[in-house]
Amino acid sequence: MVVFCSASHYLDKYAKIYYNFINDKQESKAERLAFIIMEEDKSTKNENSGLEKFDPEMQEKIVAFMKKKEKQRKIFIALCALVAVVSFSSLGVYSYFGGRTAKDNDALAQLIGDTTYVNFPNPNPTVMVHRTAEEEMPDVLEKYQTLYNKNKRLIGWLKIEGTNIDFPVMQTVNNEYYLEHNFKQEYDKNGSIFMDYQCSVIPRSDNLIIYGHHMKSGKMFGQLDKYEKKSYYEKHPIIQFDTIYAEGTYEIMYVFRSKVYNENEIIFKYYQFIDVNSADEFDSNMREMAALSYYDTGVTAQYGDQILTLSTCDQSQTDGRFVVVAKRIS
């Protein structure tokens, strides 16, 4: 047994550690000793104050390791700075798009009821976004004519009184375009509120599914998940959704979380409930949603009722979705 005697507290500590590491690998000893020295250097504000306690070979290893850690520290700081710049830049971008979206949406809302016929050309005149039946198409409601002539992809307007949901609803030939485009056809991270391309308002599908981003800013459907609490539902039980051809008031029935499943999974997929062929099929969909719902609203639907579904992303699970389902009452 070797006994180290010294009046210096730090020298004694280093000596004991050195002795305990006798059987360790040299690299491991150097690393551990370097960490101890660096910690002591922080408190004494002296660089390499403990190096002289060790032999030249160990000093070389310790210094090499300390230089390596210093390099890693600088790289880490640089990466943190880069992440900060990117984060603030992203925040600025989202703030810009959020502000622009809110401003544009307010301007669009002012046009509801405006009977001034402004004949804006259809940006994509070859795209037919509304399903047509054998019978003649109805006229666009007068209060939406000005908006419709600004963009003929408009399919309706969605509003929930007392919330920030008050948006035009778009529809095109896929479910991708309006994820990143606004009413003006500009690129926009907020996207637009839009109807599933498989849904039809003329003739009307049994269930109209409307999508929107769950923005952290609360824009679009960013506050839809507040319906998880029954108290929120009780304050906002009614949804107003007008197609461009007819006004509609809906009463909320079900609120639940779901997800996008693999094609081969045999499970209820709310986003596939658009049209049904029988009362049994309709009732089956109602039972599935009722079983998933967070609470019982007391509202039910029968075959022949018109259903409206609002859907947004949910980060609580992979490919998660937050869903609010309502029945048309007038």
Does the residue 295 lie in any domain? yes
Closest to 275 (Cα-Cα) out of 172, 203, 192, 186: 203
**Are residues 246 and 324 part of one domain?**
yes
Domain of residue 270 covers 154-328
- pTM across the whole model: 0.68
Euclidean distance between CA atoms 238 and 158, whole angstroms: 11
Does the residue 163 lie in any domain? yes
Mean pLDDT of 159-171: 97
* pLDDT surpassing 70 at residue 120: no
Does the residue 120 lie in any domain? no
Higher pLDDT, 274 or 14: 274
**Are residues 219 and 91 part of one domain?**
no
Which of 84, 101, 118 is the C-terminal boundary of a domain? 101
Q: What is the pLDDT of residues 231-265, one digit of tens each?
A: 999 999 999 999 999 999 999 999 999 999 999 99
* pLDDT surpassing 50 at residue 121: no
Q: What is the pLDDT of residues 66-88, one digit of tens each?
A: 777 778 888 888 888 787 776 66
**Are residues 195 and 292 part of one domain?**
yes
Does the residue 225 lie in any domain? yes
Q: What's residue 157's pLDDT?
A: 98
Cβ within 8 Å of residue 56, ≥6 positions away: none
Q: What is the CATH number of the domain that holds 298?
A: 2.40.260.10
**Are residues 299 and 177 part of one domain?**
yes
* pLDDT surpassing 50 at residue 32: yes
Split into its structural domains, the chain has a count of: 2
Euclidean distance between CA atoms 238 and 299, whole angstroms: 12
* pLDDT surpassing 90 at residue 131: no
**Are residues 179 and 308 part of one domain?**
yes
Euclidean distance between CA atoms 305 and 284, whole angstroms: 14
Q: What's residue 265's pLDDT?
A: 94
**Are residues 203 and 94 part of one domain?**
no
Query: Do the Cβ atoms of 314 and 322 come closer than 8 Å?
Result: yes
Cβ within 8 Å of residue 208, ≥6 positions away: 195, 196, 199, 201, 241, 306, 307, 308, 309
Q: What is the pLDDT of residues 203-217, one digit of tens each?
A: 999 999 999 999 988
Which of 101, 129, 144 is the C-terminal boundary of a domain? 101
Does the residue 113 lie in any domain? no
Structure confidence at residue 5 as a pLDDT band (50, 70, 90): very low
Question: What is the set of active-site residues?
Answer: 313
Mean pLDDT across the chain: 81
* pLDDT surpassing 90 at residue 282: yes
Euclidean distance between CA atoms 9 and 13, whole angstroms: 6
